[in-house]
């Protein structure tokens, strides 16, 4: 288990690639479940309403569907298991790293009008997460980094728009 977490952490540091993961549906299910649990915990820490569970589960499902659609578009759908495993595993690691900042600063620090250390940490972690997604897409789709960054930004915006359409802006 520790070696698996280290593998995703090293991938989040751009030292291993999604192709280095085993092609395992069991590992995919495990990482998707871990990501769902981590996202649920994060959402409940930020917003104590029950909608945090639904939002987290929808986010996991939509991420997988969007990734599969993107891979189909690039004729690389056979790479979905490894790519989704990498995406869910790295997301779990990064969200777990972000959680202490959410707890220490509290929701008040995020909602305040002034820029503070909690907001700076969350911004840096968000940029890191976007970079990791771009790295995974670059490796998976075999494209240039700039295109991977653009696709990652569009990917995240699309995910946010879909979640807002489903749950409304007040719940997110």
In this predicted model, what pLDDT tens digit does every residue of 123-163 receive, in sequence order? 899 999 999 999 999 999 999 999 999 999 999 999 999 99
How many whole angstroms separate alpha carbon 9 and alpha carbon 62? 23
Residue 119 near residue 106 (C-beta atoms within 8 A): no
First to last CA, the chain: 32
The residue with greater pLDDT, 120 or 91, is 91
- C-alpha to C-alpha distances, 50 to 12, 41, 61, 123, 172, nearest whole angstrom: 30, 11, 18, 25, 12
Task: Return the pLDDT at 107.
Answer: 60
Task: Return the pLDDT at 110.
Answer: 60
Residue 125 near residue 72 (C-beta atoms within 8 A): no
The residue with greater pLDDT, 170 or 102, is 102
pTM over 0.85: yes
How many whole angstroms separate alpha carbon 165 and alpha carbon 155? 15
Q: What is the mean pLDDT of residues 102-118?
A: 68
Residue 17 near residue 69 (C-beta atoms within 8 A): no
How many whole angstroms separate alpha carbon 122 and alpha carbon 148? 22
The residue with greater pLDDT, 13 or 168, is 13
| Tokens 């871990």 -> residue | 34
Burial of 111 (0-12, 13-18, 19+ CB in 10 A): exposed
Is residue 111 very low, low, confident or very high in pLDDT (cuts 50, 70, 90)?
low
Task: Return the pLDDT at 154.
Answer: 96
Structure tokens at 71: 């891979």
Taking alpha carbons only, the member of 168, 158, 148, 149 closest to residue 62 is 158
| Domain parsing of the chain, residue ranges | 24-167
Share of the chain above pLDDT 70, in %: 90
How many whole angstroms separate alpha carbon 118 and alpha carbon 107? 10
Looking at the predicted structure, is the pLDDT value of residue 164 above 70?
yes
The residue with greater pLDDT, 86 or 116, is 86
- What mean pLDDT value characterizes the chain? 89
């Amino acid at each position: 288990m520790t070696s698996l977490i280290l593998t995703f952490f090293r991938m989040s540091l751009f030292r291993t690639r999604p192709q280095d993961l085993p092609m395992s549906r069991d590992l995919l299910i495990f990482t998707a479940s871990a990501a769902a649990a981590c996202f649920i915990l994060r959402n409940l820490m930020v917003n104590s309403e029950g909608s945090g569970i639904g939002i987290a589960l929808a986010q996991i499902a939509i991420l997988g569907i969007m990734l599969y659609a993107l891979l189909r578009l690039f004729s690389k759908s056979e790479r979905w298991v490894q790519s989704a495993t990498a995406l869910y595993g790295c997301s779990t690691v990064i969200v777990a790293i972000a959680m202490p900042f959410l707890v220490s600063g509290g929701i008040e620090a995020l909602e305040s009008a002034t820029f503070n250390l909690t907001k700076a940490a969350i911004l840096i972690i968000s940029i890191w997460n976007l970079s990791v997604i771009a790295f995974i897409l670059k490796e998976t789709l075999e494209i240039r980094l700039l295109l991977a960054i653009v696709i990652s930004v569009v990917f995240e915006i699309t995910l946010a728009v879909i979640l807002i359409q489903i749950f409304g802006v007040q719940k997110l």
